[in-house]
Amino acid sequence: MKLLPKKAPHIRSDVSNKTVMGDAVVTLAALYFMAMCYHGYRAVLLGLLSVAVCWGADALCVALRGRRVNLRDFSPVVTGMIIPLMMPANIPYHVVVTAGLFAILVVKQPFGGLGSNLFNPAAGGIAFATVCWSDLMFSYPLPSSGINFFGPVSATTSSSTAYTLYVGGVPIEDATSVLLGQLAGPMGATGVLVICACLLYLLVRGTVRYQQSLLLLFTAAVLNFLFPRVAADGLTSAFYEVMATPVLFCAAFMFTDPVTSPGRNLGKALYGVVGGVVMFLFSRFGGYEQTTVFAILLMNAVSPVLDSLAEWKVMKERRMRYGRQVSIDLTEGEGFGGEEDVPAAQAQEGGR
């Protein structure tokens, strides 16, 4: 038999990198359409610029390694689409460019590129922009205020719901405005209904596992229900903390990154629960009004530990099942060729 060595992974699955990234591109495009309706064509221009920067930087790194650029690799496209959606629509272009370059050249490619990065590239780029330009990252235009393509941005800026929660206030936006995205915030993280539809599509397609996204949302909602940080009831706190902040967007598109999250279902479940706790703690003790990307980066660091715990649990269950099966086989073997056959064997020896 001739064996042909192939690169890992060796487990066959109907879900490939092409389908995962393709589904992400489709759903993120829906969010860009919503952002265009609220903020004009500048939102689309930001997305196109970010995609071009990320794809160009990724292709350059691949070429410098002496490898062929894979045109079917949509991972830099997804990274480029996510970064502007977590920013205000009036963000200067140089911030988007810098965040994209940092995501690819610092967070992704130095660790080996596709499938080898330890941290989510988009989260790393957004976190870098947040640290460098926090005043620009948290100054949001009002929906339908009109933003110029180039030059000074004349849109009226406003504080987000996340900032209101951060300072301990109760948001004035009603549930309808939150669900429809008619509030100040990141241009792609405010449309709750559209994000929920995208998440449902990804779950049905199998691109995203419910153990991560749904358990993350459930854990964050329960903790905010039990320990509200605003002068309101638990249900109101849980609604605004999960729906009116980037938590829902991150649960659908960033926290579920297959490269930086555990592989086992048990590990994914632990990842979701612990991630909800970490996001809750970051929202309480973080230094910024939006800390979800920092929580994601921390969870990326502990992902191998959770995956090892899940693998240990699976191996332990396998050993237990194998031990029980061996015990059953031995018991059945004694019934056929054990004690009952001894007298007959001894009689044969005596007759000889």
Q: What is the pLDDT of residue 39?
A: 86
Across 175-325, the runs of DSSP E, i.e. the strands, are none
318 — pLDDT class (breaks 50, 70, 90): confident
Over residues 80-121, the pLDDT tens digits come to: 999 999 999 989 999 999 999 999 999 999 988 888 889 999
Long-range CB contacts (within 8 A, 24+) of 227-230: 227/280, 229/165, 229/168, 229/283, 229/284, 230/165, 230/168, 230/169, 230/170
Q: What is the pLDDT of residue 345?
A: 44
Please check whether residue 56 is in contact with residue 108, taking contact to mean a CB–CB distance below 8 angstroms.
Answer: no
The span from the CA of 198 to the CA of 278, in Å, is: 24
Six-digit token string for 348:
């044969």
149 — pLDDT class (breaks 50, 70, 90): low
303: Cβ–Cβ under 8 A, 6 or more apart, which residues?
A: 260, 261, 262, 267, 271
Please check whether residue 244 is in contact with residue 236, taking contact to mean a CB–CB distance below 8 angstroms.
Answer: no
Please check whether residue 130 is in contact with residue 142, taking contact to mean a CB–CB distance below 8 angstroms.
Answer: no
What average pLDDT score do residues 111-132 get? 91
Residue 297's identity, in one-letter code, is L
Over residues 166-193, the pLDDT tens digits come to: 877 888 888 888 888 888 889 998 889 9
